[in-house]
Amino acid sequence: LAKTTQPISMDSYEGQEVNITCSHNNIATNDYITWYQQFPSQGPRFIIQGYKTKVTNEVASLFIPADRKSSTLSLPRVSLSDTAVYYCLVNTGFQKLVFGTGTRLLVSP
Amino acid sequence: DGGITQSPKYLFRKEGQNVTLSCEQNLNHDAMYWYRQDPGQGLRLIYYSQIVNDFQKGDIAEGYSVSREKKESFPLTVTSAQKNPTAFYLCASRRDNSPLHFGNGTRLTVT
Q: What is the pLDDT of residues A3-40, one digit of tens each?
A: 899 999 999 999 999 999 999 988 888 899 999 999 99
DSSP element (H, E) containing A87:
strand A84-91
C-beta atoms of A42 and B103 within 8 A: no
**B31: closest chain A residue by CA:** A95
- What does the pLDDT read at residue B69? 97
- What does the pLDDT read at residue B78? 96
DSSP element (H, E) containing A20:
strand A18-23
- What does the pLDDT read at residue A94? 67
Q: What is the pLDDT of residues A48-98, one digit of tens each?
A: 999 999 999 999 999 999 999 999 999 999 999 999 999 999 988 667 788
Q: What is the pLDDT of residues B8-22, one digit of tens each?
A: 999 999 999 999 999
C-beta atoms of B43 and A87 within 8 A: yes
- What does the pLDDT read at residue A1? 64
CB of B75 within 8 Å of any CB in chain A?
A: no
CA distance B34 to chain A (A): 10
The span from the CA of B111 to the CA of A54, in Å, is 49
pLDDT at B1 over 60: no
Residues of A near B (Cβ–Cβ under 8 Å) read 32, 34, 36, 41-46, 49, 87, 89, 91-93, 95-102
Q: What is the pLDDT of residues B37-76, one digit of tens each?
A: 999 899 999 999 999 999 999 999 999 999 999 999 999 9
- Mean pLDDT, chain B, rounded, equals 94
- What does the pLDDT read at residue B96? 83
**A98: closest chain B residue by CA:** B45
pLDDT band at B2 (very low <50, low <70, confident <90, very high): low
- What does the pLDDT read at residue A101? 87
Q: Among B38, B43, B94, pick the best mutation site for testing chain A contact (most A Cβ within 10 A).
A: B43
C-beta atoms of A100 and B102 within 8 A: no
- What does the pLDDT read at residue A98? 82
pLDDT at B92 over 70: yes
CA distance B88 to chain A (A): 8
The span from the CA of B35 to the CA of B102, in Å, is 10
- What does the pLDDT read at residue B103? 97
